[in-house]
Amino acid sequence: MKAYLIKNGTLITMDPKRRVLPGGAILVEGQRIKKVLNREEADSFSSAKPGAEIIDARGKLVLPGFVNAHGHAAMTLFRSYADDLPLMEWLEKRIWPLEESLEPEDVYWGTLLSILEMLKSGTTTFADMYFFMDEVARAVEESGIRGVLCRGMVGTGDNPGKRLKESEEFCRQWHGQGDGRITTTLGPHAPYTCPPAFLEEVLGLQKKLDVPLQIHLAETEWENSYCRETYSMSPVELVDSLNLFSAPTLAAHCVHVSPGDIEILAAQKVRVAHNPGSNLKLASGIAPLPRMLEAGVVVGLGTDGASSNNNLDMLEEIRLAALIHKGVSKDSRAVPASTALELATCGGAAAVFLEDTGSLEEGKLADLVIFKYQGVPHLTPNHNPVADIVYAAGPRDVDLVMVNGAVLLAKEQFSRLDEERILFETKKRTAALLSRAAGKAKA
Amino acid sequence: MKAYLIKNGTLITMDPKRRVLPGGAILVEGQRIKKVLNREEADSFSSAKPGAEIIDARGKLVLPGFVNAHGHAAMTLFRSYADDLPLMEWLEKRIWPLEESLEPEDVYWGTLLSILEMLKSGTTTFADMYFFMDEVARAVEESGIRGVLCRGMVGTGDNPGKRLKESEEFCRQWHGQGDGRITTTLGPHAPYTCPPAFLEEVLGLQKKLDVPLQIHLAETEWENSYCRETYSMSPVELVDSLNLFSAPTLAAHCVHVSPGDIEILAAQKVRVAHNPGSNLKLASGIAPLPRMLEAGVVVGLGTDGASSNNNLDMLEEIRLAALIHKGVSKDSRAVPASTALELATCGGAAAVFLEDTGSLEEGKLADLVIFKYQGVPHLTPNHNPVADIVYAAGPRDVDLVMVNGAVLLAKEQFSRLDEERILFETKKRTAALLSRAAGKAKA
């Protein structure tokens, strides 16, 4: 069994019992964290642990890897393709025509492109809702990252039953694959694209498969108006009335939630993926994060797809979460640095149903990131590692990324991915996709 | 005279007449841009320009360097020293006690630290208001960056006349130094720290020296209340009533400005430094940027000091400016990418009284940045260079920085600064500063 001893670093464990351990050490055996040691424990721990490869983290910070709790990975192909447009114009005129022309291989390469970017910025787990999900799962399996995957299901149009069937097959085929790195959920897209009868079918399938749900919820004012007009309920109330929250549920966005909605989310233990960058860029609004946290809602952070962000950098979402709620609420104590970091680590892990990750604790899965810290101008003079990570660090500071006990990125080199080939294929496929879409538009 | 020919890159000129030039070239002679060539012009331009050093920018983007229009550079020493506190508690209990213990050499090294960070993230000009300004000017002179500097003056307490005298001496000694890279202004701190009689003295000195002004203005609700209660005017109205805007003025923040205030700013040609990160972090609020731009106010972007940000990365401010106003105004077309980039380049240059910089145009000073672009995962598939810079690029993409025709940073190496020494000195001096401050607190 492969073992690593990570030594001499400052551990930001996100374990509430022992938050920051300067000069600590971590022993990884196989897929898991075997020991987390403070400085004294590390000093007396035999450095001659036979067979353990030493990783010297002197002058560096060791953190749990970030969890990207909501996104559509392959949409990296559409990064900066269409920006600064109203949501429906952006979707209907620019994004959907491209998505209609997507081929399975596009999704495979687009997902690999997203994984390059996510690993380089310290993300070790991502939640994903898209289509051609076999391709996404294949990319996760090959790359070594952890993925919480679902086929996004729209309940209208031709044959929604086919999407349920695909989802069931996807869950049966992929759940637990990749040494357990792949977990699966059902993915009803949103209350405005899935009528109640369809959501009830989804719930039936959920009971049969015993998997969680991912859904978009209360993203825009338009969605709230639509639900009120059609069902005389808010989106949260509607989904609750259908008993969907009896399943473990991850609800993305929750921008437009009333105090009553927040009570429901908390009482039903619904997890929320807060996507500050995407919500700002699409002008959806600003979710009441402080109020959700106060109510005890489990919240993670997500980037959403790269076409509405336009990047997959979790440090940026952490910073946005820490900054915007202070400005909007006029309270400089809102979402302090440590809370923002929780959202991206232990909070995100709980949000995506993986309580076995998200902190550096003995027995947990070894998903971690080492950041450069000492000797970095924009982090000097190193007064406070948590504040420095939240308010000043960037992807350039990522030194090493480990998922499931395997080193996937070190010294800017990927161990399992061919970066050049992925860049080549994604550019080639994007060009072909654009010309297919242009051809369709003419026809 | 040293000359460079930058070839094969995509030029994002910020020249409204010819915005983006793929495959363009720039000839730099001495301190200035001699030629800006599109692809055809570049192809027919003799590559055998005798003596010009070739910089191959193939697959890269060439932009004007960023202008950081407001800050307190040496406050990098306080980065992450105190966060998530109410403004007055943060200032009175944490920051001011440290500032009282600052020595001139601290400001010198702290400013050099800030210059390392600014150059690494593509900033070529910064505006600065602090004290021990000779040290700041010395750091600017030695480093090769461009600085628009003023001694921050408080008009209360002991001997405010001394600060006027220091300011005058500073302007006389330093204006135009460093081959013209140093320009000076007067720096009355704010309406709430400078009573009207003092502001009138400042204006008198301004007329004598013919230099512009930098001032903090309408940063917080508290400041507005204070001015209303004390003078029955808003901060903008108060300063206007004293005729201060008859001098070219750069007003930092302008968070709490009414439509009437905005009319005054536009009519009086007051430049505004918008500091979205600092305003959010200190919970000051969100400036009405779209309304100021609509009214024709000249706006630049600033980071403010690293203790309220906590970094000096202009790409982050560009992104915040492009994102938050969309979310707050619920208009996805607010502050489009190209506008956000203008704020940090040509807008910032106009804001800091340096219209001779801020775009890639023939005859302007050669302040520019080359960004990596092709082959960068988080910028792939390169659909739109402006959107990619604004929404996805980071300091890690900076490949080369030129100021005043001199290459200051290339391949992560500084040509004029000793990075290791600066890191060593700033850490050493910060430790000494903390122990001096602790000693004073005990005494």
- The pLDDT of residue B38 is 95
Q: How far is CA B372 from CA A257, A378, B59, B63, B396, in A?
A: 41, 20, 7, 11, 9
Higher pLDDT, A368 or A89: A368
Q: Which residues of A touch B313 (CB under 8 A)?
A: 378, 394
- The pLDDT of residue A158 is 84
Q: Where in chain A is the domain with CATH 3.20.20.140?
A: 66-351
Higher pLDDT, B147 or B48: B147
Residue whose tokens read 């203005």: B217
Q: Are B136 and B114 in contact (CB under 8 A)?
A: no
- The pLDDT of residue B390 is 98
Nearest to B352 by CA among B210, B184, B236, B188: B184
Give the percent of chain A with pLDDT over 90: 93
Of the residues A304, A323, A339, A342, the best mutation for testing chain B's interface (the one with the most B CB atoms within 10 Å of its CB) is A323
The topology (CATH level 3) of A3-64+360-411 is Urease, subunit C; domain 1 (2.30.40)
- The pLDDT of residue B247 is 98
Position B47 confidence tier, pLDDT thresholds 50, 70, 90: low
CB contact under 8 A, A283 and B391: no
Mean predicted confidence (pLDDT) in B384-395? 98
In this model, does residue B48 exceed pLDDT 60?
A: no
- The pLDDT of residue B43 is 87
d(CA A345, CA A301): 9
Q: Give the torsion sign (CA, B429, B435, B439, B441).
A: positive
In this model, does residue B81 exceed pLDDT 80?
A: yes
Mean predicted confidence (pLDDT) in A395-407? 98
How far does the CA of residue A246 sit from the closest CA of chain B (Å)? 32
User: Pick from A277, A279, A337: which is nearest to B84 by CB?
Assistant: A337
d(CA B202, CA B150): 13
d(CA B350, CA B354): 6
Nearest CA in chain A to B112: A377
How far does the CA of residue A330 sit from the closest CA of chain B (Å)? 5
- The pLDDT of residue A45 is 82
How far does the CA of residue B159 sit from the closest CA of chain A (Å)? 34
Position B1 confidence tier, pLDDT thresholds 50, 70, 90: confident
- The pLDDT of residue A306 is 97
- The pLDDT of residue A109 is 98
- The pLDDT of residue A86 is 83
- The pLDDT of residue A47 is 59
Give the percent of chain A with pLDDT over 70: 99
Q: Where in chain A is the domain with CATH 2.30.40.10?
A: 3-64+360-411
Mean predicted confidence (pLDDT) in B197-204? 98
d(CA A123, CA A137): 17
Residue whose tokens read 């492109």: A113
Condensed to tens digits (0 to 9), the pLDDT of residues A402-425 reads: 999 999 999 999 999 999 999 999
Condensed to tens digits (0 to 9), the pLDDT of residues A266-276 reads: 999 999 999 99
Condensed to tens digits (0 to 9), the pLDDT of residues A152-194 reads: 999 998 888 999 999 999 999 999 999 999 999 999 999 999 9
Q: Which residues of A touch B285 (CB under 8 A)?
A: 327, 330
- The pLDDT of residue B88 is 81
ipTM over 0.95: yes
In this model, does residue B157 exceed pLDDT 90?
A: no
Condensed to tens digits (0 to 9), the pLDDT of residues A282-308 reads: 999 999 999 999 999 999 999 999 999
Mean per-residue pLDDT of chain B = 96
Condensed to tens digits (0 to 9), the pLDDT of residues A58-95 reads: 999 999 999 999 999 999 999 999 999 988 888 899 99
- The pLDDT of residue A48 is 53
- The pLDDT of residue B86 is 83
pTM: 0.98
In this model, does residue A443 exceed pLDDT 90?
A: no
Mean predicted confidence (pLDDT) in A237-253? 98
Position A442 confidence tier, pLDDT thresholds 50, 70, 90: confident
CB contact under 8 A, B113 and A392: no
Mean predicted confidence (pLDDT) in B257-268? 98
In this model, does residue A145 exceed pLDDT 60?
A: yes
Of the residues B61, B383, B414, B423, the best mutation for testing chain A's interface (the one with the most A CB atoms within 10 Å of its CB) is B383
Position B49 confidence tier, pLDDT thresholds 50, 70, 90: low
The CATH-assigned architecture of domain A66-351 is Alpha-Beta Barrel (3.20)
d(CA A203, CA B14): 54
In this model, does residue A49 exceed pLDDT 70?
A: no
Mean per-residue pLDDT of chain A = 96
Instruction: Say how many C-beta atoms besides its own lie within 10 A of residue B206's C-beta.
Output: 22
Instruction: Say how many C-beta atoms besides its own lie within 10 A of residue B367's C-beta.
Output: 31
Backbone dihedral region of B126: left (phi > 0), alpha (psi from -120 to 50 degrees) or beta?
beta
d(CA B64, CA B409): 15
Strand pairing category for A368-372 and A398-403: antiparallel
- The pLDDT of residue A46 is 65
Q: Are B60 and B370 in contact (CB under 8 A)?
A: yes
How far does the CA of residue B204 sit from the closest CA of chain A (Å)? 37
Q: Are A388 and B80 in contact (CB under 8 A)?
A: yes
Helices (H), B255-358: 259-267, 276-281, 289-294, 314-329, 337-344, 346-351
In this model, does residue B347 exceed pLDDT 60?
A: yes
CB contact under 8 A, B377 and A329: no
